[in-house]
Structure 1
């Protein structure tokens, strides 16, 4: 399996015409005004398969510094078309106690080791409005 277009955001919605609407997309980090904090964290991606049939997958959001698993999803997909990639969105509210790194990790098939797909730093600092100084 290959992962494409992995995006971390607040929320994902699917429109009636099938298009996906990603809300609150994060770039390299997540900044909150103070920690601890609870907030929505959603991952959206496309899975490309090179073979037909069932494939098992696992995804998780993990903070390696504290060895904390924020959430996990497990399932399988039955690939019947190699040209159309499978969209997957998952996540939920997460609670973060202190600054660190969130790693989005995956395992496919009978793999036994997590592979890091993307990381996102988390830190707390006051929000600065337009025209304001830090």
Structure 2
């Protein structure tokens, strides 16, 4: 249990970093893989030997779709309708995020689909309670 007590508050550090435009994960000293968003242990092998790691903020949009009304959480009502999707981070993990630069219309979603994987860059949405990770398409 000592390994658990020694872990920093990964979630707090994640949101504090996000509020400053810093995108954080952890890397595992045992298997070398990234866990994002960060937690106290490696999601791949379960090791507690992890280190915080800042990410590049670069990624590739793999899939995009629109939200279902009403928004899934009250914090998102102000930005609805919105697009969300799966982004593969440059460092490897695939994350689900809000997608900026794409309208929640059939024509815009079709355009993005036909373009295929698209480069994207991380941004932070300032919400009433917590900052939210988003990615803006670059294509």
For the aligned pair, the TM-score class normalised by the smaller chain equals under 0.3
Query: How high is the TM-score relative to the length of structure 1?
Result: 0.26
- Between Structure 1 and Structure 2, which shows a larger proportion of strand residues? 1
Q: Which has the higher contact order (CA 8 A, sep 6+)?
A: 1
Query: How high is the TM-score relative to the length of structure 2?
Result: 0.25
- Between Structure 1 and Structure 2, which shows a larger proportion of helix residues? 2
